[in-house]
Amino acid sequence: MKSSEILKQINALKSEDPDERVGAIQFLGTVTGTGSMLHVFPLIVPALNDDSDRVAYFASGIVSRIHETLHGREEYTVLLNVSLPSVLLAARKWSANQEIMIGLSPLLEVLRGELDDLLALQASLIKDTDGEQNTGWSDSLKEQTRKIIENVDLASFLLNGQCHLKNSNPDHRFGYITVNDAIARRYVVQLKGDEGAEVFDSLDELIDAGWAVD
């Protein structure tokens, strides 16, 4: 499968046309191989909260199928921890829509049993032994983040010229740095959800604040 086609469908997830968003979800759901599913899972999960119930319906079915394939893998547990707020928000938003809730039910059933473990995992990522907040991420992820932004690794900026970031703090913030800012050595994290931006004097400050590549 060509990477250009996958990139095209990822971009289609942001289309204003619900039919295009549905088509993109269906296409990404056909990607075979556990590694590929680990890659597309976090892309499709946000579609659960789409304003179009048709989009959310297709997303719930695909997310549920991917969940059944990946459940039990260590990487999936980490992905689910990151995606947990979106899943729970979708359950609250579409609770009266039986079709969507049927699609989500296998995932929600697992969440009931794993929620405490997931919250404990989350807490362990953001607390050190003294109980103080730290940047949470592993040294390898911090180093990966440093190399990608410092070297402007274009493969990480393919989606709309943005390198997507996540923060280890408990408020589950997400953001991105643009390729233009990275090239200019401007360390500005644009926060998702129209929440403004965070500006740092150096790449070290950005990483120390808990930001890492998503």
Residue 137: CB atoms within 10 Å: 21
Report the alpha-carbon distance of residue 9 to residue 57 in Å, rounded: 18
CB atoms within 10 A of CB 203: 17
What is residue 129's predicted lDDT score, i.e. its pLDDT? 37
Instruction: Profile the chain (214 residues) by mean pLDDT over runs of 10 residues.
Output: 78 91 91 81 89 92 86 76 77 83 77 57 46 63 91 81 84 84 92 84 92 88
Angle (nearest 5°) at CA 29 between 26 and 34: 170
**Which of 137, 108, 107, 140 is CA-nearest to residue 124?**
137
CATH class of 3-126: mainly alpha
CATH 1.25.40 in the chain: give the residue spans.
Answer: 3-126
**Number of C-beta neighbours around residue 40 at 10 A:** 21
Task: Single out the residue of 170, 190, 172 nearest to residue 180, CA to CA.
Answer: 190
| Overall pTM surpassing 0.75 (yes/no) | no
The residue type at 8: K
Q: Which two tokens stand for residue 121?
A: 């995992």
Pairwise CA distance, residues 24 & 14, whole Å: 9
Amino acid identity for residue 172 in this structure? H
